[in-house]
Structure formats: structure tokens, C-alpha cells
């Protein structure tokens, strides 16, 4: 039997406890031993969580879990950096294995945590930290272990995908879609992490570490959110045959790796374009396996609990095996050791969508296209709708592949033109070049 203790009895803690209690016999039948939920710690042990617990299981003191010699695995589900980090380090130093759903912590402090776990010969499982119920960590670590990973493209923030889907389907503006996401409880009370790409960047840092065997590199991820996208951009993207998605991209490129989160135009007929609402999906391209796609619920008590329990079972199996054989598992933690460098955003190449806000008068298009041409940025399509002589109107330009460093310079120059009334917005475009 394996004893576990949960610290943090909120959304994910409750889902995890429910699964461990209600599916106990199903899990035991599959794995051949019992997982016993011995203790749950939370700051508030009076609040009803809609779940019937065995007598005496709740405690307000996390140390009762961390110092209990019978507990094999500590499950951290409080979120945030502090005191989650200190609790995890204490568990590790007490020779307990750890399972966490804490993407922010793993993405920013994971290198230190894994090093400490290696030192003490224990495991750290973080399946639930990326894409909730989709077992993407296991897929990257095991299912695709034979592959060089060419690229990973993920819709890994449900809130922003819900907002973009609402804007696309109903033509509403960002602020109204965000309010709806908050009303339905998808967005955080402070949704900054969701809409500014930070949550996706945490998850991308974790995925990229597994894909490219590099340390967790959250600070090196380029982050851009969806707050500047208008329903007009979504409409123009549609006319051009694209959908706008907040993509988290990790890509092998010229001996380096690109790590970026930004709104991206994706051809409408690509499967990932059809991932709508709060759903998540991750496309992984390996050199042996080719194209693969994983889809499911990226959040919520039960999907995330499902991922937490899968880590508990994996670690539990190793503990039981080593108890039976008397030999401790050697592959306790996989420390990423590649020295592969991350490419700066200015060094990438992509196709681009530009929304210029220009005064509607003769010669404007040639002024703008002249600047683009002088930076080797070649145009594939232009859209300008309606006539409002002398007024500022959107002028949409789609380009062939260009260098981001040229785009940065060209936009700076165009935004200084007297015919341009507002800051230019640009969106990177994925897909095959026409």
C-alpha cells in the first residue's frame, strides 16, 4: 500500500481526493496495490467541499503530512510560488516523492526542485501542470522518447481560447468575451496570466524542457497576449482563410530552439484551428512518428485530478517495485542537460499579418508598401474596405516569409509616417506559404 497526503484542498485537491476515494477499487484492480489517501491539509478545514471524507483525515497543519513517516508521496496543490516551493523542498528533504500541478512553480523554480530531488533520490511528478487531463508529459517522456522533436504547437490556455472562440463565433469584442469567461468561472479573478500569455508560457517552458532536454526556461519564452486582437482582426483573418489562436510554440531552428507564445493566424482547415472553447490541444511533430495531435480538457477539478492521480500511480508502482526487489529505482528524476540555446524573437522568420491604421487618401498604400519593400518584406494580399476619405481606416496586409528583425524596423518606420494614425498591429502567420 502507498500512503499519500494532499496539501491544498481547493479545486484540484478536491478532484484528486474524489478520484482517489471514489475510483479506489478500479485503480487498485489495475495496479495490484492500494493508494491510501492518509491526510489532507488546507488552511480552511471547515469549508464544505461536497465530498465525504473518512474521519480524521483533514488537518490545518501541512507538517502533519511532511513529517509523517508513513506518507510516501506528498501532493502539492496550493498553487503559487511561496510557500509551495518551501513545502515541496521540505518534502523532498524528508525523502518523500512529490506530485504537483503547479505550472508556475515548475516553470520558474523547477530546475532547483529537480536538482534537490535528484540529490535525495526521490521523484517529482508534474503531469497535471500542462493541459490538465491530457497526458502530454507522459507522451513527451515516454511515448515520443524515440523522436527528435521538430516542433510543438499548443493551445494550452483554456481561458484565452474560450475568449478567441467567442469573438470568432459571435463577433463580440475582447472585453465582453473576457467578462463572459469570468462569469463562467474559466478565467482567474485576476486574468492577467491567462490573457497576457504568461500561463501558456509557464506550460511551454515545461513542454520545451521535455521536448529538447533543456532546463525550464520561462524567462526565455517570448510572451505576447491577446488583448490587442479585435473582432475586426478576426474577421479579416477569416476572409484570408485563417483563424486566430493563442499558440505556444517550441520549434527546433538553426541549431537553436524557438520558444514563443503569441496570437497566431492558423489556416482554417488545420485540425488545431478547430479546437474551440476551453479545450486544449497540443500538436507534436517528431522525426520518426510524424504529426501527432492530443486534445482534451485543460482544466477543472476532475480532468486535472486525473493527471495528478496518474503521477501518483506511476511513482507508486516504482516504490512497490523497489520495495519488492530491494533495489531503488535509478531513474528517479530526469534532469534536462542539453545546452541548446533559445533563439531571440528578433531572429525568427514567419509570415505576417499587418493591420495598419492609415488615413484614407491617395498614395498611402504605396508609402507603406515602399517601406515594407525596403526591408525585403514582400506582400501577398491587401484588404482595404469602404471609403472614408481623410479618416483613419484599417489597411490589412499579408506577407510572404520575412525576418522578424526587419518587421520590427519596418513597423517603427511606418508608424512614424504622417499618413499613419495609430500603432500598427502585427500577427505571425503559421502554415504553408502560398
Positions marked catalytic = 203
Taking CB under 6 A as the rule, does residue 271 contact ligand NDP? no
Contacts of residue 428, defined as CB under 8 A and 6 or more positions apart, other chains included, come to: 262, 263, 264, 265, 350, 351, 352, 353
Secondary structure of residue 288 in the 3-state scheme: coil
Taking CB under 6 A as the rule, does residue 206 contact ligand NDP? no
78 versus 333: smaller Cβ distance to ligand NDP:
78
Which of the listed partners (ligand NDP, ligand HSE, none) does 336 bind, with a CB threshold of 5 to 8 Å by partner kind? none
Which of the listed partners (ligand NDP, ligand HSE, none) does 108 bind, with a CB threshold of 5 to 8 Å by partner kind? none
- Residue of 132, 191, 263, 316 interacting with ligand NDP (CB under 6 A): 132
Which of the listed partners (ligand HSE, ligand NDP, none) does 209 bind, with a CB threshold of 5 to 8 Å by partner kind? none
Taking CB under 6 A as the rule, does residue 11 contact ligand NDP? yes
Contacts of residue 402, defined as CB under 8 A and 6 or more positions apart, other chains included, come to: 349, 350, 351, 352, 375, 376, 377, 378
What's the closest the beta carbon of residue 303 comes to ligand NDP, in angstroms?
8
Give the contact letters, 214-233, x = binds to ligand NDP (CB under 6 A), - = no.
--------------------
Give kind and range of the element (H or E) at residue 325. Answer: helix 301-325
Strand partners, 396: 355, 383
Taking CB under 6 A as the rule, does residue 79 contact ligand NDP? yes
Which of the listed partners (ligand NDP, ligand HSE, none) does 158 bind, with a CB threshold of 5 to 8 Å by partner kind? ligand HSE
What's the closest the beta carbon of residue 348 comes to ligand HSE, in angstroms?
25
Strand partners, 382: 397
Taking CB under 6 A as the rule, does residue 42 contact ligand NDP? yes
Segment interacting with ligand NDP, rule: CB under 6 A, options 6-14, 136-144, 227-235, 416-424:
6-14
Count of residues in contact with ligand NDP, rule CB under 6 A: 24
Chain residues 51-70 in contact with ligand NDP, contact rule CB under 6 A: 62
Angle at 34 between CA 33 and CA 37, to 5 degrees: 155
Which of the listed partners (ligand HSE, ligand NDP, none) does 101 bind, with a CB threshold of 5 to 8 Å by partner kind? ligand NDP
299 versus 372: smaller Cβ distance to ligand HSE:
299
Taking CB under 6 A as the rule, does residue 191 contact ligand NDP? no
What's the closest the beta carbon of residue 156 comes to ligand HSE, in angstroms?
7
Give the span between the Cα atoms of 399 and 415, in whole angstroms.
18
- Residue of 38, 90, 97, 103 interacting with ligand NDP (CB under 6 A): 103
13 versus 215: smaller Cβ distance to ligand NDP:
13
- Residue 215 grid cell: 532546463
Which of the listed partners (ligand NDP, ligand HSE, none) does 128 bind, with a CB threshold of 5 to 8 Å by partner kind? ligand NDP
What's the closest the beta carbon of residue 35 comes to ligand NDP, in angstroms?
19
Taking CB under 6 A as the rule, does residue 128 contact ligand NDP? yes
Which of the listed partners (ligand NDP, ligand HSE, none) does 143 bind, with a CB threshold of 5 to 8 Å by partner kind? none
107 versus 368: smaller Cβ distance to ligand NDP:
107
Helix axes 198-212, 103-120, angle to 10 degrees: 40
Give the span between the Cα atoms of 217 and 225, in whole angstroms.
18
248 versus 266: smaller Cβ distance to ligand HSE:
248
In DSSP notation, 164-202 reads: HHHHHHH---HHHHHHHHHHTT-S-SSTHHHHTTHHHHH
In DSSP notation, 106-134 reads: HHHHHHHHHHHHHHHT--EE-GGGSSTTS
Give the span between the Cα atoms of 127 and 129, in whole angstroms.
6
Tallying the residues shown for the chain, one arrives at: 434
Taking CB under 6 A as the rule, does residue 12 contact ligand NDP? yes
**Residue ranges with strand state E in 210-272:** 222-223, 242-253, 256-267
CB 309 within 8 A of CB 167: no
42 versus 196: smaller Cβ distance to ligand HSE:
196
Which of the listed partners (ligand NDP, ligand HSE, none) does 9 bind, with a CB threshold of 5 to 8 Å by partner kind? ligand NDP
158 versus 305: smaller Cβ distance to ligand HSE:
158
In DSSP notation, 40-92 reads: EE-S-SSS--S----TT-EES-THHHHT-TT--EEEE-S-SSTTHHHHHHHHH
Taking CB under 6 A as the rule, does residue 43 contact ligand NDP? yes
- Residue 220 grid cell: 526565455
Q: Which stretches of the chain bind ligand HSE, using CB under 6 A?
A: 132, 157-159, 186, 188, 194, 199, 298-299
Angle at 142 between CA 2 and CA 111, to 5 degrees: 75
Contact residues: ligand NDP, CB under 6 A? 7-13, 41-44, 62, 77-79, 83, 101-103, 128, 132, 299-300, 304
Amino acid at each position: 500500500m502507498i500512503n499519500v497526503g494532499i496539501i491544498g484542498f481547493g479545486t484540484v485537491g478536491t478532484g484528486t481526493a474524489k478520484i482517489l476515494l471514489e475510483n479506489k477499487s478500479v485503480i487498485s484492480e489495475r495496479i495490484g496495490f492500494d493508494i491510501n489517501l492518509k491526510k489532507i491539509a488546507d488552511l480552511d478545514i471547515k469549508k464544505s467541499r461536497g465530498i465525504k471524507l473518512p474521519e480524521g483525515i483533514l488537518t490545518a497543519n501541512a507538517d502533519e503530512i511532511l513529517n509523517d513517516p508513513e506518507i510516501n508521496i506528498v501532493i502539492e496543490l496550493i498553487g503559487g510560488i511561496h510557500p509551495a516551493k518551501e513545502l515541496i523542498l521540505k518534502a523532498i528533504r524528508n525523502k518523500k516523492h512529490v506530485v504537483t500541478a503547479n505550472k508556475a512553480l515548475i516553470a520558474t523554480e523547477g530546475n532547483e526542485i529537480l536538482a534537490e530531488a535528484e540529490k535525495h533520490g526521490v521523484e517529482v511528478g508534474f503531469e497535471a501542470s500542462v493541459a490538465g487531463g491530457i497526458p502530454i508529459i507522459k507522451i513527451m517522456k515516454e511515448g515520443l522518447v524515440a523522436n527528435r522533436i521538430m516542433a510543438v504547437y499548443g493551445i494550452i490556455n483554456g481561458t484565452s481560447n474560450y475568449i478567441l472562440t467567442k469573438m470568432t463565433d459571435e463577433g463580440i469584442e475582447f472585453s465582453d468575451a473576457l467578462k463572459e469567461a469570468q462569469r463562467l468561472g474559466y478565467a482567474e479573478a485576476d486574468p492577467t496570466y491567462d490573457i497576457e500569455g504568461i500561463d501558456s508560457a509557464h506550460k511551454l517552458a515545461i513542454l520545451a524542457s521535455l521536448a529538447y532536454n533543456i532546463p525550464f526556461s520561462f524567462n526565455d519564452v517570448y510572451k505576447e497576449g491577446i488583448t490587442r486582437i479585435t473582432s475586426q482582426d478576426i474577421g479579416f483573418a477569416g476572409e484570408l482563410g485563417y483563424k486566430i489562436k493563442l499558440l505556444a510554440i517550441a520549434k527546433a531552428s538553426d541549431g537553436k530552439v524557438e520558444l514563443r507564445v503569441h496570437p497566431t493566424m492558423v489556416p482554417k482547415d488545420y485540425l488545431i484551428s478547430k479546437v474551440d472553447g476551453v479545450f486544449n490541444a497540443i500538436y507534436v511533430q517528431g522525426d520518426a512518428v510524424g504529426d501527432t495531435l492530443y486534445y482534451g480538457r485543460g482544466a477543472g477539478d476532475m480532468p486535472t485530478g486525473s493527471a495528478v492521480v496518474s503521477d501518483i500511480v506511476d511513482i507508486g508502482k516504482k516504490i512497490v517495485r523497489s520495495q519488492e526487489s530491494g533495489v531503488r529505482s535509478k531513474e528517479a528524476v530526469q534532469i534536462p542537460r542539453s545546452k541548446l540555446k533559445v533563439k531571440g524573437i528578433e531572429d525568427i522568420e514567419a509570415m505576417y499579418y499587418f493591420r495598419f491604421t492609415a488615413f484614407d487618401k491617395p498614395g498611402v498604400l504605396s508609402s507603406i508598401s515602399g517601406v515594407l519593400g525596403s526591408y525585403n518584406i514582400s506582400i501577398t494580399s491587401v484588404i482595404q474596405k469602404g471609403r472614408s476619405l481623410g479618416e483613419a481606416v484599417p489597411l490589412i496586409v499579408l506577407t510572404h516569409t520575412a525576418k522578424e528583425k526587419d518587421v520590427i524596423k519596418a513597423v517603427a518606420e511606418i508608424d512614424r509616417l504622417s499618413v499613419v494614425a495609430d500603432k500598427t498591429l502585427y500577427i505571425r502567420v503559421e502554415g504553408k506559404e502560398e
